[in-house]
Structure 1
């Protein structure tokens, strides 16, 4: 089970047939959903994804309140452009401590992300 959940209840869904291997705790954009993989899964295997909640994720130079996007390659970024809005930073990138280099992101539901 993913260990980087910060707080909040999580709604989970099953993604059928992962496009590639998935790592627990990492963010993915797949099958018109986006969220955090709750367990490791091999390519072609079903896996559970949390599609809401607040998660510790890795991205440099994030400030509280920044919008977070995902590229077509699946990387998180602060650049809007043609990228898809997927979240908002609740806490900026940490400079020290157990979460160095990580920030807290509130996952936006797909319909809310598209409407913003």
Structure 2
């Protein structure tokens, strides 16, 4: 994951409204902008701006159907986040393992 991708992903999920939109799409599946707007309690232009950010981060895709755009969550968009958290988990586990060894040596 390069820094730009990470920044884009974290920024997109850092906003609570975008996070709720993404979570809703994950749970409920494909939704029209109208349905998302009705649920979000914010204006359609605001929902569209949030969806644009999520799309730029690779978290959703949109498909035009007639006059409406339908959005779908893209779980693969989270892959870089999962990879990053795995790396950080391994890093900190190694640090704590070394600390545990040091503390055991100090106790002897």
- With normalisation by structure 1, the TM-score equals 0.29
Q: Which has the larger radius of gyration?
A: 2
- With normalisation by structure 2, the TM-score equals 0.31
Instruction: Return the structure number with greater strand share.
Output: 1
